[in-house]
Amino acid sequence: MLTETQKEALILIAEKLAALGIEYQVTGGLAAIAHGAKRALYDIDIDIHEKDVEAVRTAFKEYIVEDWNNELDGPDDEFDIWMMTLDVKGTPVDISQIEGCRMRAKGGEWVEQPGEMRAEPGEIEGIALLIQNKEALIAYKKVLGRDTDLIDIEQISS
């Protein structure tokens, strides 16, 4: 389900993070695809620890489109999260801090997210990665409850 440029971007990211010894986990749509969802990938979502932010910023400085910031802008925002956005080979990449993240549930209330990695080794189209485990991914997608999340849950739960 990945394009060639998305694969190239993912390889570059995984290699840089591994070279730095950065613990990470692939989340969102890419994790759903890794667990069996059948859909196109829009962007790559990756969690890192707060202690690794500066090393990651430095390693990916040439790709930064939006530097490290908190994405909470207005009352309708779904996420209260520190992150940066990259453009790697034309692929949008959101790198987020796992600690201190919360998201707005479909009902409107804020839900704090676990501040620890819940990743397992896996692969996507032959690319070795650390991928958010299925249980954690489903829990995250249930809280958000967007149409895409519900479809992902259905596909990876069967």
**Is 15 exposed, middle or buried, given 0-12, 13-18 or 19+ CB atoms closer than 10 A?**
exposed
pLDDT category at 97 given cuts 50, 70, 90 is: very high
- Phi and psi, residue 11, nearest 5°: -60, -45
**Residue 92 near residue 85 (C-beta atoms within 8 A):** yes
pLDDT surpasses 90 at 12 = yes
pLDDT surpasses 80 at 110 = yes
> What's the mean pLDDT in 21-28?
97
Give the architecture (CATH level 2) of 4-152. Answer: 2-Layer Sandwich (3.30)
pLDDT for the residue numbered 128: 95
pLDDT surpasses 80 at 101 = yes
pLDDT category at 8 given cuts 50, 70, 90 is: very high
pLDDT for the residue numbered 19: 97
pLDDT surpasses 90 at 69 = yes
41: CB partners within 8 A, 6+ apart: 1, 2, 3, 6, 29, 30, 33
Residue ranges per structural domain of the chain: 4-152
pLDDT tens sequence across 30-52 = 999 999 999 999 999 999 999 99
Q: How far apart, in whole angstroms, are the C-alpha atoms of residue 100 and residue 97?
A: 8
pLDDT surpasses 80 at 62 = yes
